[in-house]
Amino acid sequence: MSILVFAELADGVVKKTSLEAVYYGAKVAEMLGGTNTVIAIGNASETELAKLGNYGATKVLHAGDSKLESANIMAYSEVLTAAAKSTGATVIITAKSSLADAVTARTAGALKAGVVGNVTELPKLDNGFSVTRSIFTGKAFAETTINTDIKVLALKKNAITPVTSDSAAPVEAFQADVNDTAFGAKITETLKATGTVPLPEADLVVSGGRGMKGPENWQPLLDLAEALGATTACSKPVSDLDWRPHHEHVGQTGVKVSPNLYIACGISGAIQHLAGVNSSKVIVVINTDPEAPFFKAADYGIVGDVFDVLPKLTAAVKAG
């Protein structure tokens, strides 16, 4: 059996969610008895890629052609498909992301492979090949059997916690003929916030709602986030009002997060907001209204004014 994992690169570094996918691939390879090949597309050093051995890669294929420097959905899916064919992969694993979701979809289409997204556990093999996936935006799970020879799985963040070793993986160059038409859709500009972990990958998130009362009041929230090393987020009205950038909006129609810690400041906890955050491991809610629905979904709650509570929390983090 041959497993193939798509490792996504960001500025030459393998993304954390992809490291989880590589480790997940190693576990599946163990279950099925096979190899765990990783394909990395774009710019990265051989040292960075060899480190994927720590996460259980048996071999890393590197498609480093300069044409592949920018993350083009069509070109990347052609490379992933070519790698799947050349390695004879029967299980292809990706980690959910804005790029990987689109690439996964086209690859599954090209290979006519059954595809399952938001996978939360290792597969079960007792009756064919089935996986548990999160559905209804985290409100339920479905045990799904994939009936094709090639199976494509997109993992949800935090589905597995990697245990690393110190083995390195051999890195081989991978050449795929990418059709010129794939480059027809051209990326002309990338606008990206720098400095913090992107929201979908963040382990710690501090989020603000309309209770923060205005964009000029965000400093106490930013201070707590900085002290914790957390990424900031917001509710939909906050981004609709342009208090915060759109990419911070979490919820059903925004980014879905599954961090270890989600701190909600002045957010009521409407069902559409919860839909994006309910897979967080621990939820903290700070709200003046003891009846705010968010307290029902929370692990820890403080009934209080965010402007009194946040500085106290920041001071406690710094003191610790």
Partner 1 sequence: MKILVCISSVPDTTAKIGFTDNDTAFDSNGVTYIIGPYDDYALARAVELKEQSGGTVTVLNVGTASSDPQIRKALAIGADDAIRVNAEPTDSYFVAEQIAHIAKDAGYDLIMMGRETTDYNSGVVHGIVGELLGIPSLSPVMELTIDGDKANISREIEGGKEKIEATLPLVLGCQEPIAEWKIASMRGIMSARKKPLNVVEPVGETLTSISSYSLPPAKGACKMIPAEEAEKLIELLRTEAKVI
Ligand X SMILES: Cc1cc2nc3c(=O)[nH]c(=O)nc-3n(C[C@H](O)[C@H](O)[C@H](O)COP(=O)(O)OP(=O)(O)OC[C@H]3O[C@@H](n4cnc5c(N)ncnc54)[C@H](O)[C@@H]3O)c2cc1C
Q: Name the strand (E) or helix (H) holding 92.
A: strand 91-95
Q: Which of 268, 278, 280, 314 binds ligand X (CB under 6 A)?
A: 268
What's phi and psi for 152, nearest 5 deg?
Answer: -115, 125
Helix 98-111 crosses helix 73-87 at what angle (to 10 degrees)? 50
**Three-class DSSP category at 101:** helix
Please indicate if the annotation marks 167 as binding a ligand: no
CB of 242 to ligand X, least distance (A): 14
Cα 315 from chain centroid (whole Å): 30
The least distance separating partner 1 from the CB of residue 210, rounded to whole angstroms, comes to 17
Is 175 annotated in a binding site? The answer is: no
CA distance 1 to 33: 6
- When the beta carbons of 25 and 211 are compared against ligand X, the nearer one is 211
Instruction: Give 144 or 272: the residue with its C-beta nearer to ligand X.
Output: 272
210 binds ligand X (CB under 6 A): yes
Residues numbered 273 to 302 that lie near ligand X (CB under 6 A) are: 273, 276, 286-289, 292
Nearer to ligand X, 126 or 291 (CB): 291
Residue type, 87: T
Nearer to partner 1, 68 or 169 (CB): 68
**Out of partner 1, ligand X, none, which partner does residue 211 contact, by CB within 5 to 8 A per kind?**
ligand X
Burial of 149 (0-12, 13-18, 19+ CB in 10 A): exposed
Cα→Cα distances 230→53, 173, 200, 233, 314, Å: 28, 36, 12, 10, 12
Strand partners, 132: 143
**Binding map of ligand X across residues 229-258, x = CB under 6 A, - = no contact:** ------xxxx------------xxxx----
Q: How far apart are CA 141 and CA 134, in angstroms?
A: 5
Binding site for ligand X (CB under 6 A): 209-211, 235-238, 251-254, 266-268, 270, 272-273, 276, 286-289, 292, 305-307
Mark the binding-site residues for FAD, compressed into ranges: 210, 266-273, 287
Mark the binding-site residues, compressed into ranges: 210, 266-273, 287
